[in-house]
Every structure is written in structure tokens, then in C-alpha cells.
Amino acid sequence: MKNLRITFFVLISILILSCENKNAKIEKNQSIVIEKEANDLENIKFSELFNEGSIIKFTPNDLKKTISPNELEFKKKLELFEKKHPSKKDFDLDNLIVLVNDETFTNSEHFIDSSWLKYFIQKYDLGLELKDVMDAAISQEDLNAVKIVVHTGYILCKDETLLALQTKDNSIINKKINKENKGYDENGDLIFYDDKESKAEEIYKLLKKNYSYKIFDKDGYTNLRDDAMNSAYILAEIKSGTSIEILDNKDQKWLYIETNDGQKGYVHRSRIIN
């Protein structure tokens, strides 16, 4: 009887110990999962907020109001992303390209309210680094994105007006194909172009209107330099009021320009008006 009691207590002890070990393993696994989820959220990427398949019709202002569960989850991720990327140097400029829409492409499953493009430009002070965004906005006929970039004070270049003209011409061709060939090209393939969503004509008119630049300096002239810096060699002096072409605007601080008489060089943006 005594031996039976001892055996019973040993079995109970083993069972209790086994349960404790099992619970400990469960708690450990749960902790690992929770820690992993926290790390995943901590290292959230821009592509987890916005990607090529995103449909985001709510705006930054909408997130300040009563919001849906989906918007609440998005807001949490946005806050974590911004915490991880607090300044301009932490933000990849290529992210902005995803925020440009292409609604003329009927097969597209992508739409992001344009206010998000404006939001990130302002948040990270990106007004002078929008060349790639502008080119994408023109090519994809995103009029709202073009307007947002222009309103930052962005200085256009000649190539962008030519791109807008080319996009307009392509739009005319695509509309003609839709009308005459019911949307099929010469190879019998669908072009997926939506005439109703085309903004190419409006974009071209807007850029043509805004692309008109002159030199202005209170001293009556400004220096044309051979490089993008104040200490660069002075090639010539350009009188205030002189009309110019912008040949390269990648660097929005120093513009590579050409005068009516064919002189080329760099002028600081503070000496250029339209």
C-alpha cells in the first residue's frame, strides 16, 4: 500500500511537471509570435502601405475622423512607418512613384487618392526632388499629380513639355484606335485605353502655360556659370527680363539653361521667374 501511494504521488508529480513544461512552451511560443509581430510592425515598409494593387480612396484628413477598422489598421501602420522614417534622409524618393495613378489603363487595379502624394511631399519637404514623379505623372496622365508638383514651385524643363506633347499625341492615336478598331491595335491586341479618363490634353495645356521663364535680378543681370555652384566660373552676364529655356531641371536649386543667343550654363533658381 505504501509503495502504491509513492507511485501515485510520483505519477502526479510527473504529470504536473509535464503540464508546467507544456504551458511554458506555449507561453514561450506565444511570446516569440508576439515579438515577431512587433518587429514586423516596427520594420514596416512603404510597400505595405501603398503598392501597385492598392485601392485607397480615403485621405490623410479622413484618418483624423471616425474611421473604419481598415482605416484604423492603415493609420497604425502609417504611424509606425513614420516613426521608423522620421526625416527626409530616411525616405526613399522612389516611394512617391507608387502614388501616381494611371486611370487611363482600364486593366489597372490601382488607385491612391492624390492627397497622399501631397502629404508625403510636404511631410518630407521633397519639393525640389520631384523630377521622376513629374515624368511619371505626365506619362500616366495623372493630372492631379502634375498639379501637385507644379504647385510646389517646381521649375519645369523643356523635355517635360515635349513629353506632355508626346503623351497627348499618343492619346489621340489611342482614341482613334478605340473608335476605328474597337480598342485593338494592328496586331489584334487590346490597348486597354480609356478615352473618358484621358487627361493628356489638359496636362499639356497646363505645362505649356507654366513653361515660360525669364531671368530676374535686382542688380539688373545675373551670372551664367559653368557649374552648379556660386564659386563656378562666370560664362556670361544675363540681363533681367531675358527669356530662357530650361534644359535640365534635375537639380531644382541650379538649373541648366539656354539663352536666346545660344549661351548655356547654370543659373540659381532664385534668379528665375515665370
Residue bearing the bigger pLDDT, 272 or 106? 272
Question: How many angstroms separate the Cα of 232 from the Cα of each of 30, 215, 224, 227, 272?
Answer: 63, 19, 9, 5, 18
pLDDT winner (highest mean) among 17-21, 34-38, 121-125: 121-125
Question: What pLDDT, on a 0 to 100 scale, did the predictor assign at position 176?
Answer: 95
Q: Is the pLDDT of residue 195 over 80?
A: yes
Residues whose CB is less than 8 angstroms from the CB of residue 214 and which lie 6 or more positions away in sequence, other chains included = 240, 241, 242, 243, 244, 272, 273, 274
pLDDT > 80? residue 188: yes
Q: What pLDDT was estimated at residue 25?
A: 58
C-alpha cell at 262: 545660344
Whether the per-residue pLDDT at 271 is higher than 50: the answer is: yes
Q: Which pLDDT score, from 0 to 100, does residue 115 have?
A: 98
Residue spans of alpha helices (H) in the chain: 2-42, 69-84, 115-123, 131-139, 143-150, 158-181, 200-210
Indicate whether 21 pLDDT > 80. no
pLDDT over 50 at 30, yes or no: no
Q: Does residue 105 have a pLDDT over 80?
A: yes
CA atoms of 159 and 247, how far apart (whole Å)? 7
57-72 pLDDT, tens digit each: 999 999 998 889 999 9
Residue 3's pLDDT is what? 59
All 3 cell numbers of residue 49?
502601405
- pLDDT reported for residue 37: 42
Higher pLDDT, 196 or 27: 196
pLDDT given at position 143: 98
Assigned C-alpha cell, 24: 511554458
Q: What is the pLDDT of residues 137-176, one digit of tens each?
A: 999 999 999 999 999 999 999 999 999 999 999 999 999 9
How far CA 150 is from CA of 146, 157, 164, 165, 211, in Å, comes to 6, 12, 14, 17, 10
Mean pLDDT of the chain: 89
Condensed to tens digits (0 to 9), the pLDDT of residues 214-270 reads 999 999 999 999 999 999 999 999 999 999 999 999 999 999 999 999 999 999 999
- CA 128, CA 159: separation in Å to the nearest integer? 17
